[in-house]
Chains A and B, each alone.
Chain A
């Protein structure tokens, strides 16, 4: 048995910088070299598609993209790299160590585990070549950019039979909106973004009628947590305001979302946190919190002794039109053990290992056909009161996806976010 989840589990998006360990984006060798020629013009267009800069096609569910193929996948009869060390580059503690150990034992290899604390750091180190992983875990909004820079290798699909055998068909046929035909990615986890609440302080019926406004409620002043992550924070405020496009570039909508968040923080004593949902709701410090479904499912590991799981509640719109997303696993071009990396992808899509990783550690659900939402509750993986934290394939057709933003829209979001972080004059 490796470490018990209770002792070591962190959120997948535990930005350590919040806790003082800033991941400073210092320049890297390649950045320095890049700076030797005229800046800003250097690093585009290496990927061959030649469309870096202004006219990028932004993938969306209603505008799915088929990514250009960079080279050929490895041959299906490539031998497994015996005795290799597999370099895994992932969010901190986003995988169960015991299952990683199972992988090592099964293939007689060693796993070297390297972590990043937020996506920007992960991308920065990958792009600059500071890390050369065999396996990487990007969010969906980075996939097309990684392919454009020729940083991902096409997958040899015959080596990943679990995609057809165990993963929701929509992820393989036609494939996800960000990678039609799953040429580069397999899904890792799926999650919704809703509102976590303490059921011993908030009635389910109240949660049902209030919805997002649980977070904008003076009754819980001082006990409200909101994610310290600009896409999630502004994204939910947009929806709460009735703007159903979480990728909007509309100035008025962004300003209104910003004002709503500042109201939450200044008038209702809300706080921006990253551990509010998974750690502080179970501990009782917060009554309501913006929450990824996986965070509240994993929150049971943080309940003080003697506190029942029944205190944890999760609201997500009943019509399923809310924020939804997934994370991916990819194999970078630099992989030293590409065949082993394919085995790794297949391993974590396995109904036994992938399931154990989720149920005994992660809290973030994999999109498996072998998982039946009802059994998750009857098997007590997910407490009955958290039934809305279960993600179904159908929800992906209705849910709102946070895709890549164009540079100028992104800047608008960041400007709003800077203002939120500066706190206003209150």
Chain B
């Protein structure tokens, strides 16, 4: 946030400090500040727009008649929408084979994001307000999992959750279950917990940043004016952290919607998510246009919460 506001405020400040200057842009050519967006623009063109256009070209393209490898079509006037249409219909025209994974994806992402929020908020709240000298260790511990690749950590979970793994050993030793729980044979809860495990740091960090910045005086003012601790939380802390909650939810739920490896490694086809549909068709001979179509459909789905987030943050910025 800070960095993006600097360019606009800088000239003003300069203008104030050097009184001899008449216009704020005197020291800088007109293109100077806009040019700062150059690297980002190039980045977006090369790493977003071009690949995205390629996805379009694959989705509306064709396949090599012999090897059935995808043959992207880059000229829109030759695009064919047949595969896109049949793919789309697999979501709502009987037998609608793609509908169950879509519904599952929403369920899993909703539950997992909610768990992330509840756990994440508590942790961030504690770290920001009460951890004292333990703040830094807590933050380091939060980031620590990133030192090991997600794949490796999920492999570790695979062996922990095996029928004869430690999780079952402990549950059996405590007498909570009499038979080993088959965590890895297509249980929704395992996939949801895997998602929570994988994405929760992304929830905690923005929440911590926001809660940490809340002015203590506001909370004290709330208390002075007679609000109970829970009222202060509901009417001061929570509204002030709302942008961070939204940001956290967006940051964790968008990648979850396209996640496929969590289910690949912890679930089965019974817990197939949307990402698994894409993963299954990408690289399968003859399935290129279908994979591209699935990507486009997911993008449309993802745009809805994204627009809501943008509107909310803009509103918050205007109110601030």
Chain B residues positioned under 8 Å from A426 (CB to CB): 270
Of the candidates A20, A52, A262, A423, the one whose C-beta lies within 8 Å of that of B66 is A52
Q: A120-B69, A127-B69, A269-B185 are in contact. Are A424 and B100 (CB under 8 A)?
A: yes
Is the CB of A407 closer than 8 A to any CB of chain B? yes
How many residues of chain A have a CB within 8 Å of chain B? 61
From 155 to 196 in chain B, residues with beta carbon under 8 angstroms from any chain A beta carbon are 162-164, 182, 184-186
Write out the residue numbers on chain B whose beta carbons fall within 8 Å of the beta carbon of A145: 66-67
Q: Does A272 reach chain B (CB closer than 8 Å)? A: yes
Q: Is B286 an interface residue (CB 8 A)?
A: yes
Contact A35 B75 (CB under 8 A): yes
A31 with B72, Cβ < 8 A, contacts A26-B54, A43-B64, A222-B182 known:
yes
Contact of A414 among B67, B272, B276, B286 (CB under 8 A): B286
Please report the C-alpha to C-alpha distance between residue A304 and residue B226 in the assembled complex, in whole angstroms. 66
> By the criterion CB–CB under 8 Å, are B64 and A422 in contact?
no
Across the A-B interface, give the 4 residue pairs with the lowest CB-CB distance, nearest first: A269-B185, A423-B272, A222-B182, A20-B261
B68 CB contacts on chain A under 8 angstroms = 407, 410
Instruction: Please measure, in the bound complex, the distance between the C-alpha atom of A387 and the C-alpha atom of B163, giving whole angstroms.
Output: 30
Residue pair B73, A35 in contact (C-beta under 8 Å): yes
User: Are A121 and B73 touching (Cβ within 8 A)?
Assistant: no
Q: Could you say which residues of chain B place their CB within 8 Å of the CB of A118?
A: 283
| Contact (Cβ within 8 A) A423 B270 | yes
Beta-carbon contact of B284 and A120 below 8 Å: yes
* 12 more A-B residue pairs beyond the given contacts A127-B67, A222-B163, A425-B100, with a C-beta to C-beta distance below 8 A: A20-B261, A25-B70, A27-B54, A31-B69, A35-B74, A40-B71, A222-B185, A407-B68, A419-B97, A421-B277, A423-B270, A424-B269
Q: B238 contacts the other chain (Cβ, under 8 Å)?
A: no
Complex contact B264–A19 (CB within 8 A)? yes
> Is A124 close to B, CB under 8 A?
yes
Report if B257 contacts A (CB, 8 A): no
A426 to B66, CA, bound (A): 37
Q: Which residue of B lies closest to A271 (CB)?
A: B268
Write the A355-393 contact mask toward B (1 if CB under 8 angstroms, else 0): 000000000000000000000000000000000000000
Q: Are A265 and B101 in contact (CB under 8 A)?
A: no
Interface assignment of B241: CB less than 8 Å from any CB of chain A = no
A361 to B280, CA, bound (A): 30
Tell whether, in the assembled complex, residue A25 and residue B69 are in contact, meaning their CB atoms are under 8 Å apart: yes
Residues on A facing B (Cβ under 8 Å): 17-20, 22-27, 31-32, 34-36, 38-40, 42-44, 52-53, 118, 120-121, 123-124, 127-128, 142, 145, 148-149, 221-223, 230, 262, 265-266, 269-272, 284-285, 407, 410-411, 414, 417-426
Interface status of B282 (Cβ within 8 A of chain A): yes
Contact B280 A421 (CB under 8 A): yes
Shortest Cβ distance from residue A221 to the other chain B in the assembled complex, whole angstroms: 8
Q: Given the interface contacts A39-B71, A421-B276, does A269 sit within 8 Å of B283 by beta carbon?
A: no
Assess whether B61 is in contact with A35, with CB atoms less than 8 Å apart. yes
- Interface size class, chain B: 35 or more
Q: Which of B34-80 contact A (CB under 8 A)?
A: 51, 54, 57-58, 61-62, 64-75, 78
Which residue of chain A has its CB nearest to the CB of B183?
Answer: A222
Q: What's the nearest-Cβ distance from chain B to residue A123, in Å?
A: 5
Q: How far is the CB of A121 from chain B (nearest CB, A)?
A: 6
**Nearest A-chain residue to B274, judged by Cβ:** A422
A20, A39, A123, A421: the one within 8 Å of B78 (CB)? A39
Query: What's the Cα separation between A265 and B150 when bound, in Å?
Result: 26
CB distance from B199 to the nearest CB of A (A): 15
On whether A22 and B286 interact (CB within 8 A), knowing A145-B67, A222-B182, A423-B101, the answer reads no
Q: A24-B282, A26-B54, A407-B65 are in contact. Are A39 and B73 (CB under 8 A)?
A: yes
Complex CA distance for A25 and B284, rounded to whole angstroms: 9
Quick one: given A265-B270, A418-B280, are A410 and B286 in contact (CB under 8 Å)?
yes
Q: Can you spell out 28 A-B residue pairs with CB atoms less than 8 angstroms apart?
A: A17-B279, A20-B151, A22-B279, A23-B283, A25-B288, A36-B74, A39-B62, A39-B73, A43-B64, A43-B65, A43-B71, A52-B65, A121-B283, A127-B64, A148-B66, A221-B182, A221-B185, A222-B182, A270-B268, A271-B184, A272-B269, A407-B68, A418-B280, A418-B287, A421-B280, A422-B100, A422-B276, A423-B272
CA distance in complex: A230, B271 (Å): 19
* B84 sits at the interface (CB 8 A): no
Bound complex: CA of A79 vs CA of B69, how far in Å?
37
Q: Is the CB of A19 within 8 A of B261?
A: yes
Asked if B98 lies at the interface with its beta carbon under 8 angstroms from chain A, I say: yes
Closest residue of B by beta carbon distance from A126: B67
Check A423 against B269 for contact (C-beta < 8 Å).
yes
User: Contact between B101 and A422 (Cβ–Cβ < 8 Å)?
Assistant: yes
Once A285-B162, A423-B269 are accepted as A-B contacts, the answer to whether A411 and B286 lie under 8 Å apart by CB is: yes
